[in-house]
Amino acid sequence: MPSETARRSQATPLKDAIEAFLKTFNLKSKFNETYLVAFWERMMGKAIASRTTEIYVKNRTLYLRIDSSPLRQELFMAKSKLINLINKDVGESVIDDVIFL
């Protein structure tokens, strides 16, 4: 029977175990896309999130429907900055482009 110390040394932190699971089953990119949608308000702030009526990711492209024309234009002008901000927040490259619907 293994001792308590031996069991602890064999234990894997939950975060590492989840990362390994996602990587093994090629789910990491889908997880990151879901994270992006779920945490859009935290990433962009309440003002932008409240004007976002539709958001989804498909083939590494973020699709956004913004109900404010001035805000849509402002985000369009800062598209590369927006992509960098999102990828940095997620922790890896998740999107390559943004399309405004």
DSSP letter (8 states) at residue 91: T
pLDDT given at position 11: 78
Is pLDDT above 80 for 10? no
pTM of the model as a whole: 0.74
| Collapsed DSSP state (helix, strand, coil) of residue 23 | helix
- pLDDT tens digits for range 19-43: 787 677 767 777 778 888 888 999 8
- Edge-to-edge strand order for the sheet containing 61-66? 52-58, 61-66, 97-100
Residue 72, CA atoms < 13 Å, CB-side half-sphere: 14
Please name the amino acid found at residue 81: K
